Structure 1
Amino acid sequence: MSQLLNILLVEDDTIEVMKFHRVLKAMGINHKITEAANGEEALFTLKDREVNTDIIILDLNMPKLNGLEFLNIIKRDEALRYIPTVILTTSNNHHDVAACYKNGISGYFVKPLKYADYEDNIKKLIGYWSKNELMYQ
């Protein structure tokens, strides 16, 4: 059984946001997507509590409060630390990957150059989390 997800997409690149929406639209499932252009906006969204966030899709390279800084903040917050956070970034730097896993991420995807590969990654990512039993509790 699949569940509709409340997704917080933290991404500053408009083209990447459009690609993400395009893939989800092609999947034919109406997950709720809330957008934040940087970590600072994402924190305001999470603290607002109007929408329960099921999963955070997080870019690392952003202005104001980057992905690693944002991750450090939410993983120290008792109310936010257990929200699954998946990195979706252009960085394949080993130090970034290690720092993210050290801070408790749930997955790390490098944005591929080919759209078909990107689409495949997003479908698998969303498919997994929409069926994950932990999401039903």
Structure 2
Amino acid sequence: MTPSLRPVFLVEDNPDDEQLTLRSLRKAKITNPIFIARNGEEALTLLSELKPLPAVVLLDLKLPKLDGFEVLRQIRTSPKTKTLPVVVLTSSSEDRDIIESYDSGANSYVRKPVDFKEFVEAVSQLGLYWTLVSEPHP
């Protein structure tokens, strides 16, 4: 499978944000398969089963069962996923959340814009970068 066809993995428990993200990726004409997990436990289970690994994980922090920080820490401790690109996509702009995300191994931290057009643009740019521009780890 070519890198451009590797899936995008969205970990998001809010149905509205999930739909907005999917809509934004479609608007950017990203045709990669998209897998969705709605809590931290589901994210880790699905990630362990995905082949090939996703081009990127878009990870919310505020998740049921296991929060995004714990999901990120477990991704980074697994030999299979330790180099997987993870973008924290969250509504939090708290300094402590930003610091903990980067300390836990996030590749990027993006605050979800409140404005619809800004949200669409931010997610579109993320999707394009991670699915078309960035070279995956071999």
Superposition TM-score, scaled by structure 1 size:
0.91
- Could you tell me the percent identity over the aligned residues? 30
Question: Residue 7 of structure 2 corresponds to which residue in structure 1?
Answer: 6
**Aligned counterparts of 2:63 and 2:43: Cα–Cα separation in 1:** 12
The secondary structure found in structure 1 opposite 2:10 is strand
Q: Does 1:127 align with 2:136?
A: no
Asked if structure 2 preserves the Cα contact closer than 8 Å seen for 1:10 and 1:56, the reply is yes
Residues 26-37 of structure 1: pairs in structure 2 closer than 5 A: 26-37=27-38
Taking a change above 3 Å as real, the CA distance of residues 127 and 57 of structure 1, as seen in their structure-2 partners, is same
Question: Residue 18 of structure 1 corresponds to which residue in structure 2?
Answer: 19
**Aligned counterparts of 1:136 and 1:69: Cα–Cα separation in 2:** 23
Structure 1 residue ranges without an equivalent (≥5): none
Question: Residue 41 of structure 1 corresponds to which residue in structure 2?
Answer: 42
Equivalent AA in structure 1 for residue 48 of structure 2: K
The secondary structure found in structure 1 opposite 2:54 is coil
Asked if structure 2 preserves the Cα contact closer than 8 Å seen for 1:4 and 1:29, the reply is no
Question: Residue 75 of structure 2 corresponds to which residue in structure 1?
Answer: 74
Taking a change above 3 Å as real, the CA distance of residues 114 and 84 of structure 1, as seen in their structure-2 partners, is same
Asked if structure 1 preserves the Cα contact closer than 8 Å seen for 2:6 and 2:33, the reply is yes
Equivalent AA in structure 2 for residue 68 of structure 1: F
Q: What is the Cα-based RMSD across aligned positions, in Å?
A: 1.6
Question: Residue 94 of structure 2 corresponds to which residue in structure 1?
Answer: 93
Taking a change above 3 Å as real, the CA distance of residues 49 and 131 of structure 1, as seen in their structure-2 partners, is closer
Q: CA deviation at 1:134?
A: 2.0
The secondary structure found in structure 1 opposite 2:5 is coil
Taking a change above 3 Å as real, the CA distance of residues 8 and 96 of structure 1, as seen in their structure-2 partners, is same
Superposition TM-score, scaled by structure 2 size:
0.91
The secondary structure found in structure 1 opposite 2:4 is coil
**Aligned counterparts of 2:77 and 2:121: Cα–Cα separation in 1:** 32
Asked if structure 2 preserves the Cα contact closer than 8 Å seen for 1:7 and 1:33, the reply is yes
**Aligned counterparts of 2:52 and 2:71: Cα–Cα separation in 1:** 19
Taking a change above 3 Å as real, the CA distance of residues 136 and 102 of structure 1, as seen in their structure-2 partners, is closer
**Aligned counterparts of 1:11 and 1:127: Cα–Cα separation in 2:** 19
**Aligned counterparts of 1:67 and 1:49: Cα–Cα separation in 2:** 19
Question: In the comparison of the two structures, how many residue pairs are matched?
Answer: 136
Equivalent AA in structure 2 for residue 84 of structure 1: P
Question: Residue 66 of structure 2 corresponds to which residue in structure 1?
Answer: 65
**Aligned counterparts of 1:132 and 1:78: Cα–Cα separation in 2:** 24
Per chain length, whose mean CA-contact separation is higher, i.e. which structure has more relative contact order (CA < 8 Å, sep 6+)?
2
